[in-house]
Every structure is written in structure tokens, then in C-alpha cells.
Structure 1
Amino acid sequence: MAGQQPTLRAQRRAETQHAIQTHAVRLFRERGYDATTVADVADAAGVSPMTVYRHFPTKEDLVLVDQIGALVADRIAASPATRTLVGRIGGALVDAATALTGEDPESEGKFLLARTQLMISTPALRARHLDNQYLLQRAVVDALGDDVADPDAVFRAQAATSACLAALHTALVRWAEDDGRSALPELIAQALTASFGDDVLDHRR
């Protein structure tokens, strides 16, 4: 039983974090990001401001913190090393978007859309988004593991990742401006194809 406690603790922590973030995004959309305080979020979530800060050290984190990096990294680690770097990274981005924007109307897709729209419309969040891109780049390169073991390989992986993330950002902006009416995975695939050619996502399995 003792071995299960960290798992249960982590699950409860994730549930609390998600509840706080859900209330934060709702309030930011209803009242405006600048007009909403961390105390407002804490009150809506039924927790103390200290609890909010324990999960989200800054106000910007209430919008920008996510698990996308881990999801993309898992997809990359499971992809064949015989594929091109761009194919592996781009395929993982499309797969992650598919997982996050499923057919269930109550899926994480609507939450991701709301967060993306806030990021685009709020100057402070746009600036912090660059930090998130860097963290995602690191997660992607780390997920490639031994396939990028020397400095030159790491450099190539960083360049490929940066290019793929630029395509991802372009797709996210279009998706947000379209209010989610277009399918995000398809937009990402289109952006990748426009950047790297029609065969970039071929032979993904």
C-alpha cells in the first residue's frame, strides 16, 4: 500500500492543479486577464492563494502550464528512429493535438482553445509563451535520447524542433482565430507540409 501513496498523491495534486487552472481560465475570459487577481482565482477554486502559488508560481503559469511537453515527448520516444527528425517531431505534434482535441465535446480541446486564445490576446502571456517554446524544445530533444548523442546531432535536433514548433505556433494562431472550427491536427499537418513538403508526415508508423 505504501508504494501506492505517491501515485495517489500525484493524482490528487494533478486534480487540484487542473481545477485551479480551469477556474482561472474561466475568470480570465469572463473578466479579463488583467482585471482578475490570483486571490479571485483562489476564491473561485475554493483554495487559499498560497495553494494557487504552490501549483502555479506566477499568474502567467495559470494559463501556460500544461502537459503537452510530456505528451509530445512520449510520442517521439515511441516513434521509429528510421524516420527523419522533422517527420518524428511533426508526427508527434499532430498525434498530441489529436489526443488533446478528441471528439468528446467535454474534452481538453475546449480548454486548450480557451488557453490559446488567452495567450494570443494577452501581451504578458505572449511574452511568456516564448519561454514555454524553449522548454518544449528541450523536452523534444531529450525525448530523442541516444539518437542525438553528440553536439552536432543535438544542434540539428534543436534546429528541426524550432522549425516544427514555428509551424505549430502558426497552426495554433489560426485555430484560435477560427474559434476552433477547424481541426487543430489538420492545421498542424498543413503548416508542416507548407514548411517541409508534402511527404513530411509520410510513413508515420
Structure 2
Amino acid sequence: MSSPGLRERKKQKTRWAIQEHAVRLFAQQGYDATTVEQIAEAAEISPSTFFRYFKTKEDAVVQDRYDDLMADAIRNAPPELSPLDTVRRAFLDAFAQIDPDEAEQVLQRARLALSVPALRMRSLDNMQSSIKFLAAPLAERLGREPDDFRSVAFMGACVGAIINAVMTWVENDGADDPRQLIEEALSVIAEGP
């Protein structure tokens, strides 16, 4: 897959800079007390520019770049890998690309998503979209239609296991290695409890 052009990279950089300011303000002031105007001011953009990147304040927490990374990893995985090994590799590859500063932001976003009711609901919606988005390249690998029920159900099981790993990571304040937690959570799908 070709890398994005300069214009797209600048847009992505702006998007994640806005998110970084939003998460920082949410952590400092609380989610409900923070306005889009405050986020825009901190990011040195206009509120209308904020809404070009994020449709809602909730999206500034729940959206990330990892679905795209994982979908690419699923598409590009060696053909001999099983569906579970393909998904395992995709999730682990995505987490391997997170540096320590970004890991702290992911941890803060996960804390917010678990503690703010509006964000929990938006996260649930986002999770459903992610499952379908990630199931499509898996279904393609299997020679099936993008909305194949079994591929979506399988990806839902994998994402559910990963959510358990992320929740454990958040509950332990980031002390655990998230990749090890992901490995263990996905092993349950293969082996049972």
C-alpha cells in the first residue's frame, strides 16, 4: 500500500494534534467542563476547523488511527496464517507502533471512555463500526463478501477479547504490557477459558 501524500499527512497530523489537546483538557478540567471552543483555542484552530476533523466532542476521544493500521495488517498478512493468527498479528502490529507518549494518550482516552457515560455510548457505536470495518478485509482473505456474517462474528469475538485486555490495562493504570494482555485474551478464543 502506498503511503499518504503530504497533504493527507498534514491533515492527519492536525487531526491528532487536536485530539491531543482535547484529551489533555478533558483530563485537566473534566469532559463535561471542556468546550469545543477551549479545545480549538488550545490547538490554535477555529471551532469550525475542529468540526471538519471531528463531528462531535466525543469523536475527539473515540476516533483513532488504529483501525486503518489493523485493516492494512490484515490485508497484508501472509496468506498461510489462520484467521486468528492474522487478527492477532494485526492487533499486535498496531500496538507495536505506539510509542510511550502515545501509549499514555491511549490510556487517558480509554480512562475517559470508561468513565464518561456519553463516551461509553459513543465508544460502543464506534466498536460496532470497527468490527465491521476490520471484518471486511478478513472476509476478503477468506474469499467471502465484506459483510459475511461469520467473519463479522469472528471479528466481534476478537474485539471483545481485546476490549477485556484494554480494560485490564486501564484498571492497572498501564502497568501491564498491553501486547501480552492481547496475546492472552486472544488465546482464550483459540483454547477456551
Q: Tell me the amino acid that sits aligned with residue 174 of structure 1.
A: T
Q: Which portions of structure 1, spanning 4 or more consecutive aligned residues, are displaced by more than 4 angstroms?
A: none
Over residues 145-181 of structure 1, what are the superposed CA-to-partner deviations in whole Å (9 max), with x where a residue is unaligned? 5334445992221111000000010011111111111
Q: Which moved more, 1:76-85 or 1:178-187?
A: 76-85
- Report 1:67-106 matches (<5 A): 67-100=65-98, 102=99, 105-106=100-101
CA–CA separation in structure 2 for the residues paired with 1:127 and 1:153: 23
- Aligned residues between the structures: 189
Residue 118 of structure 2 is aligned to residue 124 of structure 1:
yes
- Report 1:44-55 matches (<5 A): 44-55=42-53
The alignment's TM-score, normalised by the length of structure 2, stands at: 0.90
CA–CA separation in structure 1 for the residues paired with 2:149 and 2:171: 33
Q: Tell me the amino acid that sits aligned with residue 124 of structure 1.
A: A
Q: Tell me the amino acid that sits aligned with residue 139 of structure 1.
A: F
Q: Is the CA contact (8 Å cut-off) linking 1:119 and 1:126 kept in structure 2?
A: yes
CA–CA separation in structure 2 for the residues paired with 1:152 and 1:44: 40
Residue 201 of structure 1 is matched in structure 2 by none
Structure 2: runs of 5+ lacking an equivalent? none
Indicate the structure whose relative CO is greater, using CA pairs within 8 Å and at least 6 residues apart: 1
Calculate percent identity across the aligned residue pairs.
38
Q: Is the CA contact (8 Å cut-off) linking 1:95 and 1:185 kept in structure 2?
A: no
The equivalent position to 2:164 in structure 1, one of 151, 161, 170, is: 170
Against the structure 1 CA distance between its residues 52 and 152, is the aligned structure 2 distance closer, same or farther, given a 3 Å change threshold? closer
CA–CA separation in structure 2 for the residues paired with 1:142 and 1:153: 6
CA–CA separation in structure 2 for the residues paired with 1:183 and 1:156: 30
Mark the structure with the bigger radius of gyration.
Answer: 1
Q: Which moved more, 1:145-154 or 1:175-184?
A: 145-154
Q: Is the CA contact (8 Å cut-off) linking 1:148 and 1:154 kept in structure 2?
A: no
Against the structure 1 CA distance between its residues 150 and 143, is the aligned structure 2 distance closer, same or farther, given a 3 Å change threshold? closer
Structure 1: runs of 5+ lacking an equivalent? 1-5, 199-205
Q: Is the CA contact (8 Å cut-off) linking 2:136 and 2:145 kept in structure 1?
A: no
Shift of 1:128: 0.9
